[in-house]
A and B are shown apart, each in its own frame.
Chain A
Amino acid sequence: MISIISTIKIALRALWVNKMRSALTMLGIIIGVSAVIIMLAVGTGVSRKVSSQISSIGSNLIIIMPGSTSQGGVRMGGGSQSTLTTNDADAIERECSAVAAVAPMQYGSAQVVYGNQNWSTSIQGTTPGILEVKDCGLTAGRNMNEQDIRSATKVCLLGQTVVDNLFGSIDPIGQIIRIKKIPFTVIGVLESKGQSLGGQDQDDTIIIPLSSAQTKVFGRTIPGMVRSIMVKARNADDIAAAERQVTDLLRQRHRIGPNKEDDFTVMNLTQVLNMAEQTANIFALLLGAIASVSLLVGGIGIMNIMLVSVTERTREIGIRMAVGAKTWDIRIQFIIEALTLSMTGGIIGIIIGSGGSVILSTIFEYPSVVSPLSVFLAFSFSGVVGIFFGFYPAYKASLLNPIDALRFE
């Protein structure tokens, strides 16, 4: 066989002669390869984002909400009933073996004031367990303790956004802020968690002792009532067990008969996030289908053009055979030509696909991850397509009878 470099030169010249035709033939491969790149970038990007959100919300998290009430046939929606109490939370912590930490929650929003600055933010009344439940550390200061809960001390932990808005560059620890005109001492600053899946700023919050929230900030309707209970399972495998234990315990405590509906709702946040990931996977799969169809169609296009090219250049093939080209010399020449088409298409596709996934990621705020593996994958796909669909035309060319090929008009 003749040298690859000479063959590539011959192929490039042949393709250059029909620039428009070559470009159109490449289009299918370009679309296919860019779809492969975008598919993989979106797939890995979204799953990375989702898993980072899972860990920002807190892993192995279960949320218990009160059930809905109905008044005169009008159902009020989840959380409208006040059935969960601090005692429920204590019982869960005591009795459910699959549960690692519990945080009963009472929350609402309020105006907070420091000096001449003021800011409206969400106030979460809870117990020290909240930090473990949410997998959240402190960047400064200390957590609340049992003493704070028991005696409803007026202390608070600030999210980073609140610190930025009230304090600027001043160290907030030990300062006093007013929540609904009640003075609270800042004892700690929460680690930054960024945005939640819904786009909320998770750092725009203040945590205070549950007892203080119930008695001083939000007032109380039913003594000991909480709006939700957050529970952390011991590990991922225990989530289902924890859910079951919590449900059984609460049904028992709320004296719900065997055929009655729960007066509370247990939600598993990991499930919700997994669903988001599944949606992303379906999207990626869809792009994958487009990519494979497009690569297939592109490949058929290459085969078609190569067949035309073989017919057009029958005389050239005859000349080459007459001066000594062997079967594989001719075959390799046309395969290289098909490969050049598909690989050039592949490279252009990789460029467009990378650009496209960067644009997509800025629009949808997903991290853009064009991995070297996906580039390699797309490149080898286009190569395989070139060889596969280039082989038959090349085979056909190599079997021409030299004398017939030379006489071809």
Chain B
Amino acid sequence: MALIETHKLSKTYDVGDEGVHALENVSVKIEKGEFVAIMGPSGSGKSTFMNIIGCLDQPTAGEYLLDDRKIGGLSRDELAVIRNQKIGFVFQGFNLLSRTSALENVELPLLYNHVPAKERKLKSIAALKMLGLEGREQHHPNQLSGGQQQRVAIARALVNQAPVLMADEPTGNLDTKTSVEIMELLVQLNRNSGTTIILVTHEPDIAAFSKRIIRFVDGHVVSDEKVKKS
């Protein structure tokens, strides 16, 4: 079975008298271990799609199955548990807690998963080490570079061993060199740990790191093809 499966997913926003269709009848399947890039111009619905499959937002119509579980109709707290255990998020703006150490930021998903303090610390230190941030545990986000902050965010996304990592424009705030470093890190992660990665981007260079590209235009999927590696 597919890890992520949507059937005729639609999202409509009420703006004035007419509804704006951010998504219309989107049906997509993503298998375990895939590395998918979702592309499209701004307003194409790619972020809306990501938020819905990330359980941060709810569709107005259609069905969504994550790991064979129907997501529609779940309560806020049930969604919170799914986000905590199945999904790791990486955002464009990093979204780390300010005035909080890197270590504590990484510990956050474990905290809400009731992992005991000692284990929380060990796992978080290991995750930071894996991302090359050894010795930076006590640094606060404003003491870290953009690339380092994004690595802390990735460590946070991975620490709970979530099967899916969703990255919304993860390199949007980074320079080219750091962007490549982060993308190579994601490729490695996908290859070595088998983590499913779903990436939203509008940059072809970034999308090229993935194995499959789904293109959105005006809320529709217009193309879905494997990336040919040169």
Tell me the A residues contacting B by CB distance below 8 Å.
2-3, 6, 13, 17, 315-316, 318-329, 401-403, 406
Contact = CB atoms under 8 A, between A and B. Distances in A.
A321 B89 CA distance: 11
Interface stretch (B17-25, B109-117, B192-200): B109-117
Ranked nearest first, the 5 interchain pairs of A and B with the lowest CB-CB distance are: A324-B84, A324-B112, A323-B109, A403-B56, A326-B77
Contacts of B80: 321, 324-327
B97 A324 contact: no
A324 B113 contact: yes
Contacts of B112: 2, 320, 323-326, 329
Given A319-B108, A320-B112, A324-B80, 10 more contacts: A13-B99, A316-B97, A323-B84, A324-B81, A324-B83, A324-B85, A326-B77, A327-B76, A327-B80, A406-B95
A314 to B, nearest CB: 12
Contacts of A3: 114, 117
Nearest to A325: B112
A316 B77 CA distance: 18
A13 B98 CA distance: 11
B95 A322 contact: yes
B145 interface: no
B27 interface: no
A189 B84 CA distance: 85
Nearest to A9: B104
Interface string B53-73: 010110000000000000000
B111 A6 contact: yes
Interface in B89-103: 89, 91, 95-97, 99-100
Interface residues of B, number: 27
Q: In this complex, which of B76, B100, B114 has the most chain A Cβ atoms within 10 angstroms of its Cβ?
A: B76
Interface of B: 51, 54, 56-57, 76-77, 80-81, 83-85, 89, 91, 95-97, 99-100, 108-109, 111-114, 117, 156, 160
Given A327-B76, A402-B56, A322 B83 contact: yes
Given A2-B111, A327-B76, A322 B56 contact: yes
A326 B76 contact: yes
A120 to B, nearest CB: 75
24 contacts: A2-B114, A6-B111, A13-B100, A17-B99, A315-B95, A316-B97, A319-B95, A319-B108, A320-B108, A321-B80, A321-B83, A323-B84, A323-B89, A323-B112, A324-B80, A324-B83, A324-B112, A324-B113, A325-B80, A325-B112, A326-B80, A328-B77, A406-B91, A406-B95
Contacts of A316: 97
B130 to A, nearest CB: 18
A403 B51 contact: yes
Contacts of A322: 54, 56, 83, 89, 95
Nearest to B78: A326
Contacts of B100: 13
A323 B81 contact: no
Contacts of A6: 111, 117
A319 B141 CA distance: 14
Given A13-B99, A322-B95, A327 B77 contact: yes
Contacts of A324: 80-81, 83-85, 109, 112-113, 160
B76 to A, nearest CB: 6
Contacts of A323: 83-84, 89, 108-109, 112, 156
Nearest to A1: B114
B57 A403 contact: yes
Nearest to A321: B80
Nearest to A401: B57
B84 to A, nearest CB: 2
Contact of B56 (A13, A17, A406): A406
B90 to A, nearest CB: 11
A13 B99 CA distance: 9
A17 B80 CA distance: 28
A317 to B, nearest CB: 11
A103 to B, nearest CB: 77
Contacts of A328: 77
B224 to A, nearest CB: 25
Nearest to B113: A324
Nearest to B54: A322
B190 to A, nearest CB: 21
A13 B100 CA distance: 9
Contacts of A320: 108, 112
A325 B77 CA distance: 8
Contacts of B57: 401-403
Contacts of A318: 95
Contacts of A406: 56, 91, 95
A406 B54 CA distance: 13
Nearest to B159: A323
A329 B111 CA distance: 10
Contacts of B156: 323
Nearest to A328: B77
A258 B156 CA distance: 98
